[in-house]
Structure 1
Amino acid sequence: MANLPETPQWEEGIYQIEVSDPVLGGPDGISNRQAKQLASRTSYLRQKVEKSGTDLAAHIAAADPHTQYAPKASPTFTGTPTAPTPANSDNSKKLATTEFVAKALAALAGSAPETLDTLKELADALGNDPNFATTVLNKLAEKLAKDQNGADIPDPALFVKKPWFRGSGKDGGCYRFIECFRVVKNPNRRRRICHFAMGKSSSHSNFE
């Protein structure tokens, strides 16, 4: 007695033995046709199950079994990926969306005028001086102190040669005339050397 040969293939249908069919055995006998078809189906399914088990094991062992998807490490996205926008004060490792960056830049610029709302414009305004604060402090240190009453003037001889101005006769917020003085040898006296009034000028040599 022998076994029916099995072919691992899917049989689309199972033959129905008719009442008129003769009883005929053997591998291709009509009496064994149904059993042979069912055996082929069973062999086909068994082959698929065994292969799926092997594929599943390989899938589990693979470092990146889904190559059609972006990897978790350093992914490269295509299309238009989106993400939730963190709060303005967020300082975590969350994704910084374009909306988050735009808000941060707006907060940095604040209400600065348009001509000073970029780092380039600020640098130009400061003369591209990386030590601007120190430069300003050094310049301020060169200023004369009011409480010294001129005692800290670096070059008194040169200073007395330079005229100084005083506006007087203020009327309705405007000066009616301006007087120009020069310091003379006596520190308590000064010489008025010119007088501007209503657009006209005149020289004087009197003392005050």
Structure 2
Amino acid sequence: MRPTALMLFAAGFGTRMRPLTDDRPKPLIEVAGRPLIDHALALAEGAGLNRIVVNAHYRAGQIESHLAGRHGIAVLREDPQILDTGGGLRHALPLLGEGPVFTLNSDAVWTGPNPLATLAAAWDPARMDGLLLLIPRGRATGHAGTGDFLTDADGRLTRGPGAVYSGAQILRTDGLAEIPEPVFSLNRLWDRMLAEGRLFGVLHPGGWCDVGHPDGIAEAEALLAGQGDA
């Protein structure tokens, strides 16, 4: 069944974005005249998702004020401590509901097909517990590094230098209950899926830019203007 709920990660401190994040959370930094979080929410709307949970910690009140009154969006504070991606997703499960969910980072911009729709079209729950949207390293604008995953002919993943994880995925959440720590990364869940051969990847055919540092804003705006498309 196609997931209908989205976890949007927006709780981080944005330390690489300083000084821009000294007075605001990173999701409210503007790219091409719109806050990053609104770029992400436009993707969710375009994919027809009707239940969205946004986590918040650093300057959470600003996130709450920005999203106040928007239908189908719940802001969930992580307090007193930030829970990382795994702990944050588990904390949100009562609002997300049962079954697989989309997750999306709020610090990237995209061109080309809707990334959430690409994931939905490739999702096969009979074979998969997780499906990650990947970017070929040569098209990962704003991202430094050798890549995160290798794929076999069937799309099954192993860790290694190759494609870059984009911050968008579909996950089964059952395994979160088996992790005892309150604060943990979704890498813990991925490791279990990798060991069982049930973590897969699909490539995004359009453009993507990681807006993780101030210089990334200009790169993202160039991408959106059509200057950085592959």
Q: What is the TM-score normalised by the length of structure 1?
A: 0.17
The structure whose residues are more often strand, as a share, is: 2
Q: What is the TM-score normalised by the length of structure 2?
A: 0.16
Higher gyration radius (CA):
1
Q: Which structure carries more relative contact order (alpha carbon 8 Å, separation 6+)? A: 2
